[in-house]
Amino acid sequence: MSFMRRIGILTSGGDCQSLNATMRGVAKSLYKMFDDVEIVGFEDGYKGLMYADYRVMKPYEFSGILTLGGTILGTSRQPFKMMRTPDENGLDKVAAMKHTYYKLKLECLVVLGGNGSQKTANLLREEGLNIVSLPKTIDNDLWGTDLTFGFHSAIDIATNAIDCIHTTAASHGRVFIVEIMGHKVGWLPLYAGIAGGADIILIPEIPYDIKVVVDAIKGRMKNGKNFTILAVAEGAISKEDAALSKKELKEKKKNGPTYPSVAYELGALIEEKTGQEARVTVPGHMQRGGEPTPYDRVLATRLGAEAAELIRKKQYGYMVAVDGRKITKIPLEDIAGKLKTVDPKSDIIREAKSVGISFGDE
């Protein structure tokens, strides 16, 4: 390894469709910018940095991956809250990551990740490492950026699931509940729900009242609509449950009937209260799979190129972000640990309500 400039790169947390496209954007720009650059790829996210599991990448590895889903580097979840807890062999994870960084004489580490990964990126920045990060997640919940890469591709898949359900729901006159990813935030169910023409959208930011949901279904039945489609976030929550403390909720769940997920719980309640048959569809990890959409490929390319530009300018400690039509940068310390949630009072919610979509709240 006799190169002058060595840049590390890793993909961390849940994967998404345009991780490879984004890495390609970074790498192609770097190779074009510098004659003397070497990119070191860490396997399975921060784990590779901790355990010095890496490979020196060849430029050809970044070719032909624009449309390839997943990540050629592999990924893993390394919870931020465990970063200061030694591993099973007593290894100090933060010290180990720093050791690998300095041993390889990295000029900078490029991190592609979601919320937890950005927190760790910020921790490494605080520890003195040069970091440039990129906003990855199908959830679109990263603070400081209008968009994350992966979001648009996931909308496509989740929307397609709702589209497919439409014809069967109408034929059978059933209630269909499509459970869409998003534990804490509802951007994906919101967008896919609107795009797929869902009648009811339930997201964590707007706790629902089951009576309102049931009335919306009954109202449709009265108007001759024999089916209803609900787009429900994994983290959708009733008003009743939202009012409980974490401890009380845990207790309630322990003592009550158990369901595989919120969609099944809603399905049972809806059948009981409307007399209509309910079916549940969970597209699950399909939403993170397959090819990135053209929109995401463009976004990935732009974000990747700007990350390389930050490295060229030696501007470290930032996440590359989207601000309207512009690609910008935002200090990691300003975004780490902050979630971008759906504002129940925002225009998009008002507009969705104005076309008759119910959010189960009123």
Q: Sheet containing 5-11: which strands, arranged edge to edge?
A: 54-56, 37-42, 5-11, 108-113, 131-135, 318-323, 326-331
Query: Does the protein bind ligand F6P through residue 234 (CB under 6 A)?
Result: yes
What is the nearest approach in angstroms of ligand F6P to the Cβ of residue 66?
21
If binding means CB under 6 A, how many residues of this protein chain bind ligand F6P?
A: 12
In this complex, which beta carbon is closest to ligand F6P, that of residue 25 or of residue 116?
116
For residues 74 and 33, the answer to whether their CB atoms sit within 8 Å is: no
Please provide the DSSP assignment of 136-190 as one string: B-TT--BTT-S--BTHHHHHHHHHHHHHHHHHHHHHHT-EEEEEES-SS--HHHH
Q: Which of 8, 45, 144, 182 binds ligand F6P (CB under 6 A)?
A: 182
154 dihedral zone (left: phi>0; alpha: psi -120 to 50; beta): alpha
| 181 contacts ligand F6P (rule: CB under 6 A) | yes
Q: How far is the CB of 57 from ligand F6P (least distance, A)?
A: 24
Rule CB under 6 A: say whether 296 interacts with ligand F6P.
Answer: no
Check binding of 158 to ligand F6P (CB under 6 A). no
Q: Is 114 in the site for ligand F6P (CB under 6 A)?
A: yes
What CA–CA distance (Å, rounded) separates 234 from 275? Answer: 24
Q: Which of 12, 20, 137, 274 is in the footprint of ligand F6P by CB under 6 A?
A: 137
Rounded to the nearest whole angstrom, what is the least distance from the CB of residue 196 to ligand F6P in the complex? 17
Query: Is position 159 an interface residue for ligand F6P (rule: CB under 6 A)?
Result: no
Smallest gap from residue 71 Cβ to ligand F6P (A): 12
Binding mask 204-233 for ligand F6P (x = CB under 6 A): ------------------------------
Adjacency order of strands within the sheet including 200-202: 200-202, 228-233, 175-180, 278-281
Structure tokens at 66: 């624009």
Contact between 193 and ligand F6P (CB under 6 A)?
no
Dist CA 33 CA 312 (whole Å): 8
Binding track, positions 271-290, relative to ligand F6P; x by CB under 6 A: -----------------x--
Of 13 and 193, nearer to ligand F6P (C-beta) is: 13
Residue nearest to ligand F6P (CB): 14
How are beta strands 175-180 and 228-233 bridged, if at all? parallel
307 φ/ψ angles, rounded to the nearest 5 degrees? -65, -40
Q: Which is nearer to ligand F6P, 10 or 169 (CB)?
A: 10
- Tokens representing residue 358 in the block: 């119910």
241 catalytic residue (yes or no): no
Angstrom distance (rounded) from CA 322 to CA 328 = 6
- Chain residues in the site for ligand F6P (CB under 6 A): 13-14, 77, 114, 137-139, 181-183, 234, 288
Give me the active site residues, please: 139
